[in-house]
């Protein structure tokens, strides 16, 4: 099986995202989708990691033979995953993946982002758009497209978990910074400041242990 953490070395399959951008196909993302669907539906019993990887490989081989260098719509990849799961007796997992995608789409339609308009400072609201966050991460933090989309996806899930109808653009930026820090993608993200005691300004034993 191909390296699950990188695009295939045999065929540079590209995927067209909903916003029209092109990204290399990364099989680990599809494998993670399959395993999440199996776990959500409770169908992981009797299906080990290599078996789930075999399902992902089947989808990959179909894409490789059918598209031959042509970009693949991301929607079609999702449909193929559901089909493979259904044809191999894991229809509940395919349904779980579909329901998860539908919930994400509903969340995107409901959520509003409030931001101050640059022209007059008036606060206006617009619908959530993950692509705008991806563009911000690429422009401001110079991330590659797959990494920016991964961070944006994690921020999107955090926002949805808040169960708010309206969020501020400032909150979204802070969530993005938090994710960037967690992944070590901000300058100085791994620098640990020394903690000093109140007596004499000496470094505490706890700080020494952390720095050793």
Share of the chain above pLDDT 90, in %: 35
User: How many CB atoms are located within 10 Å of the residue 69 CB?
Assistant: 9
Closest CA to 88 of 53, 120, 123, 125: 53
Compute the average pLDDT of residues 1-12: 45
Please name the residues in contact with 104: beta carbons below 8 A apart, sequence gap of 6 or more.
156, 160
Return the pLDDT at 10: 45
Q: Give me the pLDDT at residue 45, please.
A: 55
Please name the residues in contact with 81: beta carbons below 8 A apart, sequence gap of 6 or more: 30, 33, 34, 37, 59, 94, 97
Residues 6+ apart with CB under 8 A from 28: 4, 5
Kind and range of the H or E run holding 80? helix 74-87
At 173 the pLDDT is 94
**Phi, psi (degrees; rounded to nearest 5) at 173:** -65, -40
Rounded CA separation 62/30 (Å) = 14
Tokens coding 77: 């990849």
Is 172 a residue whose pLDDT tops 50?
A: yes
Bigger pLDDT: 119 vs 192:
119
Query: What is the tens place of the pLDDT at every residue in 53-78?
Result: 888 888 888 888 888 778 999 888 88
> How far is Cα 92 from Cα 70, in angstroms, rounded to an integer?
31
Convert the pLDDT of each residue in 15-53 to its tens digit.
998 878 888 888 888 888 888 888 888 776 555 566 778
Lowest mean pLDDT segment, chosen from 50-64, 142-156, 197-211: 197-211
Q: Which residues neighbour 154 within 8 Å (Cβ) at sequence distance 6 or greater?
A: 179
Residue 196 DSSP label = B
Write out pLDDT tens, residues 109-147. Answer: 999 999 999 899 999 999 999 999 999 999 999 999 889
pLDDT confidence tier of residue 6, bands split at 50, 70 and 90: very low
Residue 148 confidence (pLDDT) above 70: yes
**Mean pLDDT computed over 102-115:** 93
């Amino acid at each position: 099986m191909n390296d699950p953490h990188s695009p295939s070395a045999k065929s540079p399959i590209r995927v067209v995202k909903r916003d029209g951008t092109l990204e290399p196909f990364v099989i680990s993302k599809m494998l993670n989708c399959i395993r999440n669907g199996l776990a959500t539906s409770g169908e992981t019993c009797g299906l080990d990691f290599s078996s789930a990887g075999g399902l992902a490989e089947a989808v990959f081989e179909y894409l490789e033979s059918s598209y031959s260098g042509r970009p693949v719509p991301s929607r079609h990849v999702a449909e193929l995953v559901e089909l493979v799961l259904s044809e191999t007796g894991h229809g509940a997992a395919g349904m779980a993946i579909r329901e998860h995608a539908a919930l994400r789409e509903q969340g995107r339609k409901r959520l509003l982002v409030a931001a101050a308009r640059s022209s007059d400072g008036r606060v206006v609201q617009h619908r959530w758009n993950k692509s705008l966050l991806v563009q911000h991460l690429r422009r401001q933090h110079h991330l590659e497209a797959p990494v920016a989309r991964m961070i944006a996806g994690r921020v999107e899930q955090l926002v949805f978990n808040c169960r708010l109808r309206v969020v501020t653009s400032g909150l979204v930026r802070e969530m993005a910074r938090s994710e960037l820090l967690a992944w070590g993608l901000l300058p100085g993200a791994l620098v640990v400041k020394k903690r000093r005691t109140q007596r004499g300004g000496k470094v505490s034993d706890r700080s020494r242990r952390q720095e050793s």
